[in-house]
Structure 1
């Protein structure tokens, strides 16, 4: 086998995806069960955060364990049936949706988890729209079918109607709630019956039967069997046909039913996903050049930065999605933001808190680079200094808070911690202009981000902080004005400021003030994002 053929094979065996959902739909549980079926875990942990139960592998931060929610994205690498899987577990709480949005720039496909008892929820709609804009293929897992669930046909209809995408059921639930017995696989035309395992800790044994098997008829009872027969006939004749290309183009979402907690349908989902999801995809540069994975020059971009993942070392890790070329330890690349030449020597694969040194990686892989305080989210690393990716969006904050350092002696630690959290993209930072008050202002998508700032400043940097709610609810960036343009007329209730990059912004207390400003400053263009 030639080197080129070997390189192409490595690319084809990569799958990089994220799992997204509304809070409490079962995203973190599904993540852990993938690790169980992929052999990365021998025993599945519990997501309930009870003292005597195991903590979920992907939720490593202390605050996450205390609250039982995911507030930080986690990268998990594992092997499955010859494929190299990069699974990006995202925050479940919508206050941390900006972190999720950034993660979606680094994946090639998404698994969307829906609670079978609730259907499409608000956060699901938001995340799906991000995927639609990026034309990211979406696979759907309808979870918690072992609990009272909505009618399965209604769930399919809601997916198509609310998300405006065709839905093709790969399998079909055999009952729901206490009567849920497994799924009918439409491709193999076999019923997959599952046995419960204690707390879903082990792989569930699977038995298969034909639909006319007397055992299956007896297991389902007469009325349930008749209902499932009717539903299957309906989706066969009235449903959409499966088209693999439509899936890759984001026109159709394959739908799977199951229960992550009890391991119903997990292996079927994972197998089908591996078969039908895309291998690593090209990326556009800021000059609109397309960089394909088989481009021999190494390139990648930083989509996440996390400090203090390992409290023993208190270091800083930049997560890099490889777009093209082969990564090798100690290779030299250009850091596009500074123009400096860097040697990438401290590289790791990540599994929760655990790290494994990585000597080589390929397009689609996500590697962690330890150190490098000059890295920022969105930076490009490449062997070809003409490549510069512009993948990472910043979303306007909707919550604002003054931040105070109550202990002046801790000034250096206070500044160090705040600078680090800004580099991670956890928060936005603003300084008020033309104001007697010089207290810094933090901006966040959700108020829970402020709790995380306070927690991390105190536990990781050893400095107390006081947070005081600020009156504003939105920010707009001021586009570069022409030299002949007169200064803006700033009405009462609108505050001028600059962001952490020195870009001018306006802080508004509500929609009324925004509309009033726009009506009285026709020549000034405002953006809800920073160019």
Structure 2
């Protein structure tokens, strides 16, 4: 395998609070790379101008992102794997799993709203994994908060040193452009101009008198703030950035294509190439010659005409070649990877080969599940793919009893892909769905109707909490299961789950069964459970 192929990969996610401009920025990153010609359309398409990364019918109807999308393109001499994530907090589980597959992240902050709740949650995940973060403060063409306040808020709430790479000259109707602190260069903003990066007017080494003559009061204020911020902030340290302790900050307006090129350049120049990944057995280095990969996402019905099911795989080591024999650690089965694709959202292209950092898709009919490890033979199991205990529960049944079998098959697929958590009671009763947010139920109902032609009836369940149960002694686990059969269900991976109406019920069970562990978080099937209090 060529080491240079690994070094030229950049794999990152775009994260933000809802409505901060994440999907718009994703579109413009594709636009700047030449992957698409018109924002909202894949290259060559003349109509249907929905966001490239929003391919589900419900996303087009609601104007929100509810599923993560994968897009691969080239920029400069780099191969970029861009993962767009759902902004809505109800789909945070999908975002958390995507963050296990990337080497860096772009955090989009609405300049008017600053650091918001969902941003904090996502940043906590990034920090726990030491994921390097580039910060983009968006919507400078509108009236936003003072830049100094935004920098201070980032540092206070996110616990990282914010290092401004650019600084805004004015805002809203007075937004004139940005001053590139490191290059001593001004990039001029022209309202309503949709030209791409190479056509942005730049002014090099602009003196104070020239700046005031050209930009007036916004220039004077920006220069004062730059002098203040550069004196108060440490110099950029790439090692600190790679450890997740510093974040370069850029300002711009994604909807106006302004500041987008600088993000791409920062990612290529600063973000790391693919790094090593931990398995239960050992660390896997990307330079290893043997192929390994991890399934971090499964998506059903990306192509309704073929009723397919695609497993998204992060290549972790080795050189993937089409047709090679791969082993699934969980099942021990081996298959030949002949039908493998790469993505530009819903559009696919057949993959002949891939390298560490690349995201490839393998269409399959249930062979691959979330968290599976693929290898050329070594029985490894990658760690860290999370499932969280749901916080809302509803029962589900088909409106037409004759469609009950189709409902069961559909829920199995949706459960396998992580769109919703599905719990089947061990004794009788209706299937229970568990979600982190209420919007997940709406999306699942919509998909059941549109993709599987099964109309369903949902109702609030009597449960409010769930915990996955484990024990070191299998006989004790069996006795617990026999005792609480009416409160137990199996999830999509057949892991036993304790369902409760109140936390007191869980506490009582813990006291009576001290050798049983009640887990709020579990990893994928086959990996150790994460113990909790």
Are 1:194 and 1:204, in contact at CA under 8 Å, matched by a contact in 2? no
Q: Pick the aligned partner of 1:423 from 416, 421, 428.
A: 416
For the residues of structure 1 that align with 2:490 and 2:162, how far apart are their CA atoms? Answer: 46
Q: Pick the aligned partner of 1:297 from 287, 290, 295.
A: 290
Note the residue ranges of structure 1 that are not aligned, 5 or more in a row.
Answer: 47-51
CA shift at 1:249, angstroms?
Answer: 1.1
3-state DSSP of counterpart to 2:39: coil
CA shift at 1:391, angstroms?
Answer: 3.1
Are 2:416 and 2:492, in contact at CA under 8 Å, matched by a contact in 1? no
Partner of 1:460: 451
Q: CA RMSD in A?
A: 2.3
TM-superposition CA deviations, 1:275-324 (whole Å, max 9, x none): 0000011100112x111110000000111111111122221111110000
Flag the 1:286–1:125 CA change in 2: closer, same or farther, 3 A: same
CA shift at 1:460, angstroms?
Answer: 1.0
3-state DSSP of counterpart to 2:521: coil
For the residues of structure 2 that align with 1:149 and 1:485, how far apart are their CA atoms? Answer: 56
Are 1:347 and 1:357, in contact at CA under 8 Å, matched by a contact in 2? yes
For the residues of structure 2 that align with 1:100 and 1:484, how far apart are their CA atoms? Answer: 36
TM-superposition CA deviations, 1:153-200 (whole Å, max 9, x none): 1111111111111110111111111111111111110111122346x4
For the residues of structure 1 that align with 2:8 and 2:502, how far apart are their CA atoms? Answer: 49
Partner of 2:498: 506
Partner of 1:496: 488
Q: TM-score, with normalisation over the residues of structure 1? A: 0.92
Partner of 1:78: 73
Q: Pick the aligned partner of 1:252 from 230, 233, 246.
A: 246
Q: Pick the aligned partner of 2:517 from 502, 517, 525.
A: 525
Alignment of 1:285 onto 2:279: yes
Alignment of 1:186 onto 2:178: no
Flag the 1:80–1:498 CA change in 2: closer, same or farther, 3 A: same
3-state DSSP of counterpart to 2:231: helix
For the residues of structure 2 that align with 1:509 and 1:490, how far apart are their CA atoms? Answer: 19
Alignment of 1:447 onto 2:438: yes
3-state DSSP of counterpart to 1:466: strand
CA shift at 1:97, angstroms?
Answer: 0.6
CA shift at 1:522, angstroms?
Answer: 4.5
Q: Pick the aligned partner of 1:329 from 322, 331, 335.
A: 322
For the residues of structure 1 that align with 2:497 and 2:116, how far apart are their CA atoms? Answer: 33
For the residues of structure 1 that align with 2:134 and 2:350, how far apart are their CA atoms? Answer: 31
For the residues of structure 2 that align with 1:182 and 1:91, how far apart are their CA atoms? Answer: 30
Flag the 1:38–1:406 CA change in 2: closer, same or farther, 3 A: same
Q: Pick the aligned partner of 1:92 from 81, 87, 109.
A: 87
Alignment of 1:338 onto 2:298: no
For the residues of structure 2 that align with 1:37 and 1:83, how far apart are their CA atoms? Answer: 14
CA shift at 1:39, angstroms?
Answer: 0.5
TM-superposition CA deviations, 1:259-286 (whole Å, max 9, x none): 1111111111211221000001110011
Are 1:90 and 1:99, in contact at CA under 8 Å, matched by a contact in 2? yes
For the residues of structure 1 that align with 2:146 and 2:315, how far apart are their CA atoms? Answer: 42
3-state DSSP of counterpart to 2:201: strand
Partner of 2:266: 272
For the residues of structure 2 that align with 1:44 and 1:286, how far apart are their CA atoms? Answer: 42
Q: Number of matched residues?
A: 515
Q: Which moved more, 1:11-20 or 1:412-421?
A: 412-421
Q: Which moved more, 1:292-301 or 1:425-434?
A: 425-434
Partner of 1:20: 15
Partner of 1:49: none
- Pairing 1:37-436 to 2, within 5 Å after superposition: 37-45=32-40, 54-197=49-192, 200=194, 205-209=199-203, 210-212=205-207, 214-222=209-217, 224-287=218-281, 289-433=282-426
Flag the 1:519–1:405 CA change in 2: closer, same or farther, 3 A: same
Are 1:308 and 1:460, in contact at CA under 8 Å, matched by a contact in 2? yes
Q: Which moved more, 1:15-24 or 1:466-475?
A: 466-475
CA shift at 1:204, angstroms?
Answer: 7.9
Q: TM-score, with normalisation over the residues of structure 2? A: 0.92
3-state DSSP of counterpart to 2:87: coil
Are 2:412 and 2:492, in contact at CA under 8 Å, matched by a contact in 1? no
Flag the 1:490–1:34 CA change in 2: closer, same or farther, 3 A: same
TM-superposition CA deviations, 1:129-156 (whole Å, max 9, x none): 0011111111111111111111111111
Q: Pick the aligned partner of 2:463 from 467, 472, 476.
A: 472
For the residues of structure 1 that align with 2:48 and 2:372, how far apart are their CA atoms? Answer: 40
For the residues of structure 2 that align with 1:443 and 1:489, how far apart are their CA atoms? Answer: 20
For the residues of structure 1 that align with 2:341 and 2:151, how far apart are their CA atoms? Answer: 41
Are 2:10 and 2:267, in contact at CA under 8 Å, matched by a contact in 1? no
Note the residue ranges of structure 2 that are not aligned, 5 or more in a row.
Answer: 42-46, 523-528
Flag the 1:466–1:272 CA change in 2: closer, same or farther, 3 A: same
